[in-house]
Structure 1
Amino acid sequence: MNIKKDILLRVRIAFLGALVFVLAIVYRMVDIQVIDGEQWREQARVNSLDFRTIKATRGSIYSDGEDLLATSLPFYRLAFDPSVAHDTTFTSKLDSLSHLLSAFFRDHSSDYYQKKISEARQAQKRYLVLNNRDLNYQEKEQVAEWPIFRLGQMKGGVIFEKIDKRHNPFESLAERTIGGLNAEMEAAYGIEKSFDHFLAGKDGEGLFQKMAGKGNWRPINASSDIRPVNGYDVHTTIDVNLQDVAQSALLRKVSELNAKYGTVVLMEVKTGEIKAISNLKRTSKGTYAENFNYAVAENNDPGSTFKLASMLALLEAGKVELTDSVDTEKGATKFSDRTMRDHKNGGYGMLTVEDVFVKSSNVGTAKLVAEHFGDNPQEYVDIIKQTGLGKSLDFQLIGEGTPYIKDANDESWSNVTLPWMSIGYEMQLTPLQTLTLYNAVANNGKMIQPILVKSIRRADKTIETFESKVLNKKIASDETLADLRKMLEGVVERGTAKNIKNDIYKIAGKTGTAQKLINGRYTWQTYYASFAGYFPAEEPLYSCIVVIDSPKGMDKFGGDVSAPVFKEIADMIYAKNLEIHDSFESDLMASQGKFPVIRAGKFDELNELCNQLGISNYFEGQSEWVRSTVSNNAIIWKENHDGENLVPNVKGMSLRDAIYILENIGLKVSVTGSGRVEKQSVPAGRRITQGARIKIELG
């Protein structure tokens, strides 16, 4: 019993001793870091030591198709502590190292490097920058295997200081929207600025030693260093292929017209996702560059594109019907002391309400609005504002221009405000805000918030997602919306944009040509030309606005200047997107009922199958993979791959063939359903991104 008590006593004493020891350590840590922390930090500063920031690696920005739009690439500054290496190693290997440095950097002789390093060693320098050219990762790995350096930092003295540099793989594509960093590597504009709190990550802190030379600090790599937390990735709605199409079309037109600037926004009607956005400004050298986001931030009088809102107010208030008439006179009429004119000399005479819009008659629009809302102009303003137009979109990019549609009690309201407002003057709207109204008409009256960023992720983990907010469930009645759509189609079929009419699919939209306000006065010589609309008109998939500011030349109106850019974008999308037109899809597939289910696959297998079944089939190409079409009672094979580095069309293929093709070009495939491929999540013709995911649905 005494022995047991004796053992318990000893254990308790040992435990108390250990506890006291731990508490003493904790106290000493608190004493050093908190109580006497400033004293030790000051001592570190005296000894040329300091805690400095270790920058986190910035997150990347991706397109809708997982293409990299902006990323941080690691580069390395090559420095050397020549005092570390053993004398024997240093003496025997310095000559070889100097030769390699000279051959690699091609700036100095090997004797120069040998002398530079030897003198630094004799002077006991602990930090020597060998060259100011930064190394990429592959170069860093190569240099790390050189004599002396291969021993590492502790035994060889080599120092690789990591420096992140921001890189845009697609260079100027959507440059202003993607954003950029300033000289201090801080986010300056665009997505980089607006989502900086996600992209930036959290910087760490480490102990550094100040070395000889201006601004040179050597990391100590102490165990107490706080490691940085890298930033999240931002996934956008931008489609790289559509962005390329839109930006190229805009660049050609602004260059041709020597315009001050141009902007285009392409948006999905149902989702509000912006698929392309470009802003090109003429530089002092006469070239064009993205240096301001006009689509989001630039307010202007919208001009005749605002007539859509005026017609909405007239129709929704029950003031007019499309068949009503108005006298546009000889193209000019007076309101108070100011004369309003139409663009057509001599005017249009008597027009229906529908044709007032289709022909974009200023006189007709203003007379209708003045007649029906002149006694109560606030009614007109209220109907327009009730749609949601005139309110900020709360867009995801910082710097959205503030919309301004004045009320009747505004101190600047005058006797001529109402008629001039009706045709898009005495107000301020951005192109994106105008497009939101047109998108609502295309979207059966539902006004939704445009979005540019869909999600925040880290690897495969989603941190946050974003969806379009519904700004207004219904901007107008179904009857009003039907009339508006009819008029918008009429503009292209027989009105001011009939030059972009085509027989394959319908476009609906409105031209706009606003005089520019310069030095407080509107001028007839300088215009703000625009076209806003959607396509295909019957089942709208995309809405788009094109603005070209201050075009030079004879043709300066929206129909001549901006509408052709709209059509070029729409044509390219229509040609590449098989889902827009069923007839084109059917041409690519053999008719079911007359033939077995032969759609697409490997030519030699399908050819043998057809031969065994006694089906005539012909192929004049040499591609391994084909797609079937029908000519009379025979199958004609066509090559299935449109080009290298493009996603192929696997619709109609067996699961085995589809997976073989897609995985062999570097895509990760997920599958749902059974049977043959009916849908693929990444459209054919899009650029391939290695490791990107594609979902195929079988049916």
Structure 2
Amino acid sequence: MSPYVVMRKRIAFLFLCVCAFLVVLIVRLGFVQLSQGADLRKKADDSHFRGVPVAPKRGNIEDREGNVLAMSVSTETVYAVPAEVRQTGRAKEMAAALSPLLGKPAQEIEARITKRSALEYVQKRVSPEVAAQVRALEFPGIGTTEDSQRYYPNGSLAAHIIGFAGIDNQGLEGIELTRDDELKGIPGSILQEFGANGIPLPQAQHQYLAPKQGNTVRLTIDKNIQAFAERELQKLMSGQGVNMNGQVPKSASILVMDPNTGEMLALASAPTFDPNHYQDADPSARRNIAIQNGYEPGSTFKIITLAAALEEKKIKLSEHFFDKGSYTVLGKNVRCWKAGGHGDQTFTQVAENSCNPGFIEMGQRLGMDTFYRYLRDFGFGQKTGIEMSGEAVGILANKKKATALDLATMSIGQTNNVTPIQLLTAVSAVANGGTLMKPQLVKEIIGPSGRVITPFKNEEIRRIISEDTSKTEREVLESVVTNGTGRRAFLPGYRVAGKTGTAQKVQNGGYIQGEYVASFIAFAPADHPRLTILCVIDGVPFYGGVVACPVVQTVMLDSLRYLGVKPDPKAPMTPGKPMPGLEFSPIKKAATVPSVLGLPLAEAEKILTEAGFKTLTEGKGDIVLDQIPHGDAQVEAESNVLLYLGADASTPTLTPWWEDEDEDIEAIRSLSGRLPISVSPLGR
């Protein structure tokens, strides 16, 4: 082969190698430019651009009508760029000048502004005057930037729902925590170009990246109904509640739900706190007891037992049951709260009288398996899924170890531990036609532009009882308020259904004597419920019907009027008349009932007679402790006014009215021997 041919082959080979190298180089450059270009550009910018973060404004929290419950207000933050400060050699001078302005020791400020970091916050949330003074110093590496601070314009209103945000605008509790991602927004920054030595470049490029404001979270809560509930809690915690006689409970809660949708209209707990100053509050005051605390519900739970017995057709309301004063299970007697029992009664009267043996009979007919199935179906022993952190699951007795005696006590609301939100959700299912709804707190998420991003959706969990069973039980519970133990919640002109309850508190393996958890749950109007309300009062020496009924009555009346629910002309104006199936003529003439609370009986009767009313009395004594209808109520002229009497206004006497209360204190509790079996004569 000639040298010329060899040379040409070598040149061709070299040319191919160069072409291959160029192809590889082009592919690599294309990959770097197209795939890694953005990241590399960012790294380059980071090496010579330094940014001062600009905090976004946290989104508002509003009630269902758009009333602001939480908002962000503008403030300023003093920051330092330590590299610049160190280069000036004036760190001590700067710290000494900033110390009186920021109220911090000079040594602490010096350590912070010379720290080995890209950026340091010297002081957050300074006043505009202080920020202006800092800027006037014109210290290199020291500046101010816009910031925001969380503000709760209504103080403690709905504090346990809203929660609070920390100094860095991070959600710490409540909706502020659970919806932190939607509320916090996206930070912006102010970028300035620096040289490799850390000195700002003359006529350097500046970039401003605007922060993105957080979304607005609109709640299902109604500010006004929440205020009604908190007003009554404030009265209770100050000892000024009806029949409290200066007694102050350890805690209390009021929950209001729309039973048809599961929307929470109010969720109030006491004691409470001001989220603007949450650091000053006792941690126990920040606990959302309506969600995180469990208790034995007592007779309010009988609503569930009755629903199961009706649905399974284990009883007929017209069927008779004889209450001899106790019910014997496994050789143990569970006594009725009424000494000697109620005697012969229908199962409707069993509910009206809250007769323990009658409800135990329902539980025994249901049997263990069926009873536990309904416990689970109604949501007990599991979280409701409400949007609150730390929700408790409650405690159910171990089914494998439970005996017929446990079934007896569970049937009347003892033994098991439930949360207020569980009980409210379960009873709302009875009220709405038989469907368990998931309780909701967030109605919708709204973007900065005002557009709804995430709308509220009703969440049906399961159907538990039929429409017919629901209708039947609504009528029975309405009769409880009209004729039975819930008469203190009677509202003239409105059809109210409900159930009282009282349970002794468990401590150190036994029951605390003379200290109860008093409660009442109701819904109205009974035929087409708009509201379900539960009041739980912990640590009082009174029964549910005495202290919890009036609270629910007041909140219910104010809420129904606020919602525009008009009185039913067919509803009775005084308690004591049978409700279902009766027709009532419209009000002929309205009259205002005068208040006679605290007056001697003779004087009270004179005032009411002169106002055109007839009087009925309950109890023994000469002083009027309570009245139905209450003072200032609008009722039909010449109606009856029921007066409850006692020895004096400060020391109420137990009367036959109080003996009608559906308390379950005498109910025994065994739970496989973990608690001693005890019988108390205080069950009223």
TM-score by length of 1: 0.62
Q: Which residue of 2 aligns with 1:429?
A: 418
User: Could you tell me how far apart the structure 2 residues matched to 1:525 and 1:222 are?
Assistant: 76
User: 1-side partners of 2:564 and 2:42: how far apart?
Assistant: 72
Match of 2:180 in 1: 196
Q: Is the 2:272–2:285 contact (alpha carbons within 8 Å) kept by the matching residues of 1?
A: no
Partners of 1:317 and 1:28 lie apart in 2 by: 69
Match of 2:149 in 1: 165
Could you tell me how far apart the structure 2 residues matched to 1:292 and 1:209 are?
Answer: 49
Shift in CA distance, 466/502, structure 1 to aligned 2, threshold 3 Å: closer
Instruction: Find the counterpart in structure 1 of residue 60 from structure 2.
Output: 60
Report whether the alignment pairs 1:293 with 2:283.
Answer: no
Q: Secondary structure at the match of 1:485?
A: helix
Equivalence for 1:471? 461
| Cross-structure match for 1:356 | 350
Mapping of residues 189-588 of structure 1, within 5 Å: 189-204=173-188, 223=206, 227-256=210-239, 257-281=247-271, 290-330=285-325, 332-336=326-330, 338-370=332-364, 372-373=365-366, 376-406=367-397, 410-459=399-448, 460-473=450-463, 475-551=464-540, 553=541, 555=542, 557-581=543-567
Query: For 1:185 and 1:345, how far apart are their aligned partners in 2?
Result: 60
* Aligned-pair CA distance for 1:231: 1.8
Quote the Cα distance in structure 2 between the aligned partners of 1:511 and 1:293: 23
In the TM superposition, residue 403 of structure 1 has moved relative to its aligned partner by 4.2
Shift in CA distance, 289/583, structure 1 to aligned 2, threshold 3 Å: farther
Amino acid corresponding to residue 360 of structure 1 in structure 2: S
Cα offset for 1:384? 4.3
How much does 1:456 deviate?
0.7
In 1, the alpha carbon distance for the partners of 2:451 and 2:185 equals 16
Task: Give the Cα separation in 2 of the matches to 1:296 and 1:266.
Answer: 13
Name the SS of the counterpart of 2:144 in structure 1.
strand
Relative to structure 1, is the Cα distance of residues 546 and 153 closer, same or farther in structure 2, using a 3 angstrom cutoff?
A: same
Structure 1: 5+ residue stretches without partners: 1-19, 85-97, 108-128, 211-219, 585-699
How far is the alpha carbon of 1:34 from its aligned partner?
A: 4.5
Q: Give, in angstroms, the shift of residue 136 of structure 1.
A: 5.6
Alignment of 1:74 with 2:74, yes or no, is yes
Question: What letter is aligned with 1:484?
Answer: E
Which SS does the other structure have where 2:238 is aligned? helix
CA contact (8 A) 1:272 1:468 kept: yes
Q: CA deviation at 1:70?
A: 0.8
Secondary structure of 2:271's aligned partner: strand
Matched letter for residue 300 of structure 1? Y
Q: Which has the higher contact order (CA 8 A, sep 6+)?
A: 2
Aligned residue for 2:505, secondary structure, equals strand
Alpha-carbon distance in 2 for matches of 1:298, 1:290: 13
CA distance in 2, matches of 1:167, 1:272: 29
Whether contact under 8 Å (2:494, 2:568) holds in the other structure is no
SS at match of 1:476: coil
- Supply the AA of the counterpart residue of 2:345: L
* In 2: Cα distance, 1:488 partner to 1:420 partner: 21
User: What SS does structure 1 have at the residue aligned with 2:64?
Assistant: coil
CA contact (8 A) 2:193 2:206 kept: no
User: How far has the Cα of 1:294 moved from its partner?
Assistant: 1.6
Root mean square deviation of aligned Cα: 4.6
Q: C-alpha distance in 2, partners of 1:436/1:147?
A: 55
Deviation at 1:337, TM superposition (A): 5.4
Does structure 2 retain, via aligned residues, the 8 Å contact 1:322–1:483? Answer: no
Q: Which moved more, 1:398-407 or 1:286-295?
A: 286-295
1:158, 1:60 → 2: CA distance?
Answer: 31
One-letter code of the match for 2:498? G
Deviates more, 1:161-170 or 1:342-351: 342-351
Q: How does 1:136-147 map to 2 (within 5 A)?
A: none
Q: State the Cα distance separating 1:255 from its structure 2 match.
A: 2.8
Report the residue type matching 1:196 in the other structure.
D
- Distance in 1 (CA, whole Å) between partners of 2:226 and 2:289 is 16
- C-alpha spacing 1:476/1:223, structure 2 compared with 1 (3 Å): same
CA contact (8 A) 1:403 1:429 kept: yes
Give the distance between the partners of 1:560 and 1:450, measured in 2 at CA. Answer: 28
The aligned residue for residue 161 of structure 2 is: 177
Q: Secondary structure at the match of 2:554?
A: helix
1:402 aligned partner, one-letter code: V
Hey, what's the Cα distance between the residues in 1 that align with 2:288 and 2:302? 25
Q: 1-side partners of 2:170 and 2:509: how far apart?
A: 37
Tell me whether 418-427 or 568-577 shows the greater mean CA deviation.
Answer: 568-577
Q: Residues 627-686 of structure 1: CA distance to partner in whole angstroms, max 9, x if unpaired?
A: xxxxxxxxxxxxxxxxxxxxxxxxxxxxxxxxxxxxxxxxxxxxxxxxxxxxxxxxxxxx
1:288 Cα deviation from its structure 2 partner: 12
Give the SS at the match of 1:559. Answer: helix
**Corresponding residue for residue 243 of structure 2:** none
The 8 Å contact of residues 206 and 222 in structure 1, kept in 2 or not, is answered as no
Asked whether the equivalents of residues 181 and 187 of structure 1 are also in contact (C-alpha less than 8 Å), the reply is yes
Counterparts of 1:476 and 1:573 in 2: how far apart (Å)?
28
Report the CA distance shift for 1:36/1:191 in structure 2 as closer, same or farther (over 3 A): closer
Q: Distance in 1 between matches of 2:250 and 2:475?
A: 33
Q: Distance in 1 between matches of 2:186 and 2:148?
A: 15
Per the alignment, do residues 519 and 281 of structure 1 end up closer, same or farther by CA in structure 2, a change over 3 Å counting? farther
Structure 2 Cα separation of the partners of residues 506 and 221 of structure 1:
75
The equivalent residue for 2:639 is none
* Residue number in structure 2 paired with 1:680: none
CA distance in structure 1 between the partners assigned to 2:381 and 2:318 by the alignment: 29
Q: How far does the alpha carbon of each residue in 1:195-239 deviate from its partner, in whole angstroms, 9 at most, with x for none?
A: 1121122345676999xxxxxxxxx99746765433211011111
Q: 1:51 to 1:359 in 2, by over 3 A?
A: same
Unmatched runs of 5 consecutive residues or more in structure 2? 1-25, 85-96, 104-119, 195-202, 240-246, 274-279, 571-684
SS of the counterpart of 2:423? helix
Q: Is residue 177–residue 191 contact of structure 1 (8 Å, CA) maintained in 2?
A: yes
Distance 1:338 1:293, change over 3 A: farther
Contact 2:192 2:206 in 1 (8 A): no
The change in CA–CA distance for 1:161 and 1:487 in structure 2 (over 3 A counts) is same
What CA distance in whole angstroms lies between the structure 2 residues aligned with 1:56 and 1:325? Answer: 68
Per the TM alignment, residue 68 of structure 1 is displaced from its structure 2 partner at its CA by 0.8
- The alignment's TM-score, normalised by the length of structure 2, stands at 0.63
